[in-house]
């Protein structure tokens, strides 16, 4: 393979596998619409539009990965999950991917189901699971939020890259000679480096929003901190 891009081009995965993942992506997005409707309010609806526009704009800015000879850009799953939640966040990323494929030719139209599955569904889901865990462990300070955003963004990018490896194993059009482990390792290595860039952008953006309007950060509103167990008096007792 000449490149290791997350935006899968037409012809890299065969038609039947692409069709299966298109159906899976559609089902996932319908589920996100149904669940996301419960979260929509006067804050989340405009925020979703801003998040989608921001992800679309920042994805135009590529940063070089010199050790791999490729460039990376923001995927946006963790950023969207933090700001507007997993359901609406997945929809935001999916809308960006559709516009990129139809208008800019970034990723094949026939491969949209694959790309949406990897970046909008898997990436956002992996990010939010980590966010839910870390925000219950780390302090809700700028430092704690930065670590949460950075780690969840990095991991989400690597998870999305391994989604491609699975898809290639199922229907890749080029014979790798059984070296699927090599492909998985290469994709993971490159996307760890891309994930570092993604993590820095995500952490900077989310912490900036949280400092100005913490009520606009969905994860801080929806994920309540763990409640410590009530202390038992050292002496005496309850009547």
Global pTM reads 0.86
Dihedral sign of CA atoms 219, 220, 221, 226 in order: positive
Domains in the chain (CATH in brackets) are 15-221 (1.10.1760.20)
Residues 167/21, Cβ–Cβ less than 8 Å = yes
1-19 tens-digit pLDDT: 444 456 788 888 899 999 9
List beta partners, residue 70. Answer: 65
Whole-Å CA distances, 9 to 73, 79, 172: 17, 25, 12
10-residue stretch averages of pLDDT, the chain, 239 residues long:
62 91 96 90 86 87 57 82 95 93 84 93 96 93 94 94 90 76 85 89 94 91 64 43
Helix 86-99 / helix 77-84 crossing angle, nearest 10 deg: 140
Beta-strand (E) ranges in the chain? 63-65, 70-72
């Amino acid at each position: 393979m000449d490149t290791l891009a997350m935006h899968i081009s037409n012809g890299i995965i065969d038609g039947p596998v692409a069709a299966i993942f298109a159906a899976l992506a559609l089902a996932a997005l319908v589920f996100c619409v149904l669940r996301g409707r419960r979260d929509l309010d006067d804050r989340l609806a405009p925020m979703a539009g801003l998040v989608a526009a921001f992800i679309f704009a920042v994805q135009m800015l590529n940063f070089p990965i010199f050790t791999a000879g490729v460039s990376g850009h923001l995927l946006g799953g963790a950023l969207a999950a933090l700001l507007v939640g997993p359901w609406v966040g997945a929809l935001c990323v999916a809308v960006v991917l559709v516009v990129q494929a139809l208008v800019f030719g970034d990723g094949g139209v026939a491969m949209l189901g694959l790309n949406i599955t990897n970046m909008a569904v898997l990436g956002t889901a992996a990010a939010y699971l980590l966010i839910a865990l870390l925000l219950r462990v780390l302090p809700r300070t700028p430092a704690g939020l930065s670590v949460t955003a950075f780690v969840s963004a990095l991991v989400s990018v690597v998870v999305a890259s391994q989604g491609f490896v699975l898809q290639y194993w199922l229907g890749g059009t080029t014979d790798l000679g059984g070296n699927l482990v090599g492909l998985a390792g290469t994709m993971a290595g490159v996307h760890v480096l891309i994930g570092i860039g993604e993590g820095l952008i995500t952490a900077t953006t989310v912490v900036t929003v949280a400092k100005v309007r913490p009520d606009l950060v969905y994860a801080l509103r929806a994920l309540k901190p763990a409640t410590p167990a009530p202390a038992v008096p050292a002496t005496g007792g309850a009547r």
